[in-house]
Amino acid sequence: MVSSLQKGIKAAKSGHMQEALDFLKDAIIEEPQNADVWVWVAAIIDDLDKQEIFLKKALEINPQNIPAQRGMAYLQKRKRDQIADQNDHLSDHTSPISPFPPTGRPQSPEDNNGWSKLELEELNEIAAQGEDADEDKPEDPKPAKSSEKLLKDLPKLSAFEIVLLGVVVVVFVFIGILAASAIFDFDLPISALSGSKAAENEPPYAGVFLLENDIYSDIEHHQGLPSQDVGIPTSQSVDPTIVIFTSEANPEMLNLIYETGEYIPFDFTTQKDGLSLAHAESDLVPGLYCFQQLPEDSIIEAASYWCFKVTSAPSE
């Protein structure tokens, strides 16, 4: 059974924001502890204060939620600049919170006039719940020590406390690096920084990914064949690994199609926690490949596609 969250995501990707909002409000009731629900609500509204409340709620539920972290970084940067374009949207800068194109995205008639008063009141009630939750948190009775006081007290700390303090500093530095990578849009060698391989861990969020060099690259979901290369990662391997993680993509219903229309045989293995690994049965030649999943009602709905490219490895 398709959840309200999945329905909301599908409607949002199709440009039906009013319908998406209705589904996501139902999803909040059904899955209040699902961080992705709050992230998607933040992605489809334009009120910065409400976005911040929803993203804080998502991070409260799951502090490791990558889209929520990117969204907060974008909002903080926008508050500092205070010169953002009126047509600038949270979803344009926090991919993969939302795959909406940055310019010229279609709007339904409801979008032209903004949200209705009733919808704003409902969102205000949801936001108020988030604000009340923040107010209910007990405040730290002890004021933070100044850096001068902290340095003065260091000789009195035990060895364990000094090590713990060092770990906290390293964690905050790492968070700062992640925030900078989100703001300035550069990739990090996560496997080197963490000291562990990404392949040994689950993907950062639900979706379809190209796994190469221990790095997960998001493969964007398209309704119908993609018209541009957005969300289409490239592999330099003739045997790329495709990871399907708790996604609406069903490995048993997928077809792998080459750019010439040729169907490519592939097999997959399903592991724990809804994670599947897919491989072609033979080496792939350079070109565009797409996983196709036909809808239940092919007359009304377009087929779903997850595409990636294969290129030859550069000669040394």
Output phi, psi for 285, to 5 deg.
-90, 160
Rounded to the nearest 5 degrees, what angle is found at the Cα of 50, between the Cα atoms of 136 and 188?
95
**Tens of pLDDT along 280-292?**
999 999 999 999 9
> Residue 258's pLDDT is what?
93
Separation of first and last alpha carbons in the chain = 51
- For residue 94, the cross-strand partners are none
93, 191, 203, 229 from 101: Cα distances, Å:
10, 30, 24, 12
Classify burial at 297, counting beta carbons within 10 Å of its beta carbon; exposed 0-12, middle 13-18, buried 19 or more: exposed
Alpha helices in the chain (DSSP H): 4-13, 17-30, 35-44, 48-61, 66-81, 90-93, 109-112, 117-136, 147-153, 159-184, 190-194
CATH 1.25.40.10 intervals, the chain? 4-99+115-136
> Helix (H, G, I), strand (E, B), or coil: what is residue 43?
helix
In whole angstroms, give the CA distance from residue 27 to residue 8: 8
Is the bond preceding 96 in cis, omega lying within 30 degrees of 0?
yes
Residues of the chain with pLDDT under 70: 82-156, 185-200, 298-300, 313-316
Classify burial at 6, counting beta carbons within 10 Å of its beta carbon; exposed 0-12, middle 13-18, buried 19 or more: middle
In whole angstroms, give the CA distance from residue 310 to residue 186: 22
What pTM did the predictor assign?
0.37
Could you please state the CATH topology (level 3) that the domain comprising 203-310 is classified under.
Answer: Immunoglobulin-like (2.60.40)
CATH 2.60.40 intervals, the chain? 203-310
**Tens of pLDDT along 139-161?**
555 545 555 655 555 566 778 88
> Residue 248's pLDDT is what?
83
For domain 4-99+115-136, give the CATH number: 1.25.40.10
